[in-house]
Amino acid sequence: MTTIPHATTLYGPVGEDLILVEDLIESTKRVELPLLNRMLDHALAAKGKRLRPALVLLSGTFGDYNLNRLVPLGACIELLHTASLIHDDVVDGSVSRRGRPTANAIFDNALTVLLGDYVFANAAEMVTRTGSLEVTRLFAMTLMKMTSGELDQDAAAWDIGKDIQNYLRRIGGKTAALFTTATEGGAVLAGCSEAEVDALRSYGYAIGMAFQIVDDILDYTGDEALMGKPLGSDLREGNVTLPALFHLERYPKDNPVNRYFRARRLREERLQEALAAIRESGVIESSLDMAKEYVRRAEDAVRILPDSDGKDTLMTIGRYVLDRDV
């Protein structure tokens, strides 16, 4: 049986049950085609913190905690997340993620696209095991939102004309939609009241927004060894995230981000100037303040829920999202 480091500590009452999600994900590797088996083994090897499936189970604790329905949704959510990363790496031409080679760095792009499709199909099959048409529809809507968010990001590449509202809308689809589905779907499967479903939906959205903002902050301030990629990767790819947007807004004249985007020579030097300016200007703190505001909204949303270990754990997760270093 697979284990997840720190799951019991971080996820409280559902930590041990999360292993059932892990085992279900592992079962998807059992295929007869040797090449596909190798590709799945590589794609699913990096387990991470499994935050999204943990949110499914935690949301289920506020109603009928039926693992026969909740575990497949948790696995579905994680497989959908993994499939989206596989496709993102192909689109971005990424050769590493979290210090490991990407699938497209090992196999060719065409095979990797098909791998992502296969993992998407597994996620779709998993969601049908919940027996809920409402949750299946939620899965489909989430996939559309995630795809739209990714398309919006790619369309906005190298465009410094986009504003903070556009960024928030983009990450609302690209990242927060999946967190929302985790908490809302778990609550629906548990038969929670409408007010409880609304509260958990709001919590998932706000936590997802905070998670992505912190992710974007770490691209400027994180530890490269822990993150497995060079700092400033977003700007290298033309992706203008919240810290850069704050900097462009506050210093519109002769901005180093703008100079980097326009540079035809000395591009690495211009990039390092932009990164240093962003780190030294106070916009990192402003970005973190926005993440804290989303965590506050998440915590406020679930205050109506009955006191329980599950509720306490949701509050703890908010602090983890803000304090994480990878």
Three-state secondary-structure class, residue 91: helix
Give the C-alpha separation, 240 to 307, whole Å. 40
The number of folded domains in the chain is 1
Mean pLDDT, rounded, for 237-263: 91
C-alpha of 249 from chain center: 26
Buried b (16+ CB within 10 A) or exposed e, 272-303: ebbbebbeebebbeebbebbbebbebbbebbe
Residue 8 domain-assigned (yes or no): no
For 84-128, how does the pLDDT look when each residue is reduced to its tens digit (9 = 90+)?
Answer: 988 887 877 777 666 687 778 888 888 989 999 999 999 999 999
**Any domain includes 270:** yes
Q: For the domain that residue 258 is a member of, what is the CATH number? A: 1.10.600.10
* 129 within some domain: yes
Residue 1: predicted pLDDT: 43
Has residue 169 been placed in a domain?
yes
The three-class DSSP label of residue 306 is coil
Terminal C-alpha separation, the chain: 26
The per-residue pLDDT for 8 is 63
- Domain assignment present for 184: yes
Is residue 9 a part of any domain in this protein? no
Read off the tokens for 204: 């998932």
Neighbours of 19 (CB within 10 A): 17
- For residue 247, the enclosing domain spans 15-323
**Choice among 50-59, 119-128, 146-155, 169-178 with the minimum mean pLDDT:** 146-155
Would you say residue 200 lies in a domain? yes
Structural domain includes residue 1: no
- Return the C-alpha torsion angle 302, 307, 312, 315, nearest 10: 20
